[in-house]
A = this chain, B = another copy of it.
Amino acid sequence: MKQQRNTKQRKLVLDAVRARFDHPSADQIYLDVRTQDDNISRGTVYRNLNILFQTGEINQVKMPKSDRFESRLDKHYHLQCLECGELWDLPLDYNDDIDEQAAGKTGYIIHRHRTTFEGICPECQHKNTEQNE
């Protein structure tokens, strides 16, 4: 990888990812950073998110509509509400055993697995019962 420079923009993007815990999209990061620097462009935000991911300073979570970012670097699971779309970390241990099982069954070298739970959050459950009354 080529030599990296510390630009004001790169730092702003990194700080913006670290400031949130709701797995913002690139565009949300762009909007956040915009409040600090009203000249920064979307292209720069996308480029820096990619660079920071490649250098291992942030994590990228592939999601249906758009990629999401987070500052947690350890392997962990996610939980998404199918109604409101909110995405959270799940306090459940990463299961190393199934990586070995998968490797044994397939001959693949397994790097990891990614798990996302889908459901309805308490708020949306509440909203739904109200509607049906």
Q: Which one of B101, B108, B118, B122 lies within 8 Å of A92 (CB-CB)?
A: B101
A113 touches B113 (CB 8 A): no
Per-residue B-contact encoding for A76-104, CB less than 8 Å = 1, 0 else: 01010110000010111001001101110
Check A114 for interface membership: any CB of B closer than 8 A: yes
Q: What's the interface size class on A, roughly?
A: 35 or more
B108 touches A117 (CB 8 A): yes
Per-residue B-contact encoding for A106-133, CB less than 8 Å = 1, 0 else: 1111111111111111100100000000
Which residues of A line the B interface, CB within 8 A?
62-64, 77, 79, 81-82, 88, 90-92, 95, 98-99, 101-103, 105-122, 125
